[in-house]
Structure 1
Amino acid sequence: METLQVSKVSCTIFATVMKEKIRDTASKLFLEHGFKSITMDDIANEIGMSKKTIYSEYSNKTALVEDCVMNKFCHLSDGIDVIIAMNKNAIEELYEIKKYVMSHLNNEKSSPQYQLMKYYPKIHKNLKDQQFNKMHGCVLLNVQQGLEQGLFRDNIDPEFVARIYFTGMSSIKDQNVFPINRFPIAHLMDSFLEYHLRGIVTPKGKAILNNIINSNQE
């Protein structure tokens, strides 16, 4: 009986490791080449396993895409929470979060959210809803922190700022408005964050913002 239980546990661990390997490899390929161009064959070849093994874990490509997307979202959310817990000033915090997100999304070279919206609209809607809840809460806290630190103007409406920030961040990823050949995503993110902050900073906040921008350009 004990041998059978150990065997079952071993099989469960193996299945978990296998699924993680499939998800991690697929996520890497999707971010590098886009959701549409990568096939289940590509993923199987990259891992060195049969496509049948992948289908034993995921019924179809859509299920795999959804798992990859939501797992990445949860991972990024946890990382953002760690940055917030560092208690940096409000301006530095936003730049740290931006740098962290970009590094884990491969600088969005394949514009994953745009492709997700185009080819997997249901998954995109679910992701966007969760992104709003996360970003809305984070920006509200960030604005309140900036107000307490004297970095943001005391006549701003935190709720408006949080919502307009999310709207803007979502809009700049629309390639119909900002084609990637004209607006590289890294430059676009930097420009949007500066645009956002310059509208709400105090003179004290402006000095910190200018120092960060100047140091990033060196």
Structure 2
Amino acid sequence: MRETILQKATKMFLSLGFKSVTMDDIANELGISKKTIYQHFANKTDLVEAATDNLFETIASGIDNIREQDKNSIEEVFIIRSFIMQHLNNETASPFYQLQKFFPKIFSCLRIKQFEKMNGCMIENLKKGIENGIFRPDININFVSRIYFTGLTGIKDSEIFPQDVFEVEKLTKMYLEYHLRAIVTPKGLSILENFI
């Protein structure tokens, strides 16, 4: 039952927001009592933390599986992007804005874990791309990896990138293209343009 509650809560949090969804909403969706939820989660904060941890672990595991496929660095980044978008249900920035505003400790821990995972993956991706001649050998790997993460999280700021102007799906694709064009070799550029 704990897993069922966790899966339903995660889905609702992503589509409606971490603050907006109440324990009553989750209980009603599952056709159970709130008491049943409280047998598995001490309170809403506990459930939000479990949901974000679960989502992070699912995505991190999926990214590892994609990396094991040994695609070229450009293709790998596009596949990972699609995978993440799919698991976040093409989420808008709103659920994570609510997480940041109303559950700041959980948000902060999640951001640290996201950075560690993404930074490690991106450093490996960049090294592989340089070895394969699709990324420029003169790039500063540590800088590029960090600026990539900063950009990905920055485009979720709905005040700077309002959703009525920038569709989430297109925005991440535009950012990916922008990022890759800055670091590819001519060989990498031809691979990139095949994806666009």
Instruction: Output the TM-score relative to the length of structure 2.
Output: 0.97
Provide the C-alpha distance between the structure 1 equivalents of 2:187 and 2:22, rounded to a whole number of angstroms: 51
Cross-structure match for 1:137: 120
Cross-structure match for 2:179: 196
Q: 1:121 aligns with which of 104, 112, 123?
A: 104
Cross-structure match for 1:22: 5
Provide the C-alpha distance between the structure 1 equivalents of 2:21 and 2:163, rounded to a whole number of angstroms: 20
Q: Does the 8 A contact of 1:34 with 1:110 survive in 2? A: no
Corresponding residue SS for 2:90:
helix
Cross-structure match for 1:99: 82
Q: Does the 8 A contact of 1:32 with 1:110 survive in 2? A: no
**Pairs within 5 Å for 1:1-218:** 18-109=1-92, 111-213=94-196
Provide the C-alpha distance between the structure 1 equivalents of 2:93 and 2:15, rounded to a whole number of angstroms: 6
Q: Does the 8 A contact of 1:31 with 1:110 survive in 2? A: no
Provide the C-alpha distance between the structure 1 equivalents of 2:94 and 2:57, rounded to a whole number of angstroms: 19
Provide the C-alpha distance between the structure 1 equivalents of 2:75 and 2:23, rounded to a whole number of angstroms: 41
Instruction: Output the TM-score relative to the length of structure 1.
Output: 0.88
Corresponding residue SS for 2:139:
coil
Provide the C-alpha distance between the structure 2 equivalents of 1:145 and 1:22, rounded to a whole number of angstroms: 40
Provide the C-alpha distance between the structure 2 equivalents of 1:74 and 1:204, rounded to a whole number of angstroms: 34
Q: How many residues align?
A: 196
Provide the C-alpha distance between the structure 1 equivalents of 2:112 and 2:93, rounded to a whole number of angstroms: 22
Provide the C-alpha distance between the structure 1 equivalents of 2:110 and 2:195, rounded to a whole number of angstroms: 31
| Percentage of identical aligned residues | 53
Provide the C-alpha distance between the structure 2 equivalents of 1:115 and 1:169, rounded to a whole number of angstroms: 18
Unaligned runs of 5+ in 2: none
Runs of 4+ in 1 over 3 A off after TM superposition: none
* CA apart distance, 1:110: 6.0
Give the partner amino acid of 2:30. I
Give the partner amino acid of 1:86. Q
* CA apart distance, 1:23: 0.3
* CA apart distance, 1:112: 2.5
Give the partner amino acid of 1:70. D
Question: 1:139/1:160 Cα in 2 relative to 1: closer, same or farther (>3 Å)?
Answer: same
* CA apart distance, 1:185: 1.2
Provide the C-alpha distance between the structure 1 equivalents of 2:21 and 2:172, rounded to a whole number of angstroms: 26
Describe the superposition over 1:172-195 as per-residue Cα deviations: whole angstroms up to 9, x where unpaired.
111222122221211111011001
Larger radius of gyration: 1
Describe the superposition over 1:109-164 as per-residue Cα deviations: whole angstroms up to 9, x where unpaired.
46332221122111100000000100000000000010011000111011111111
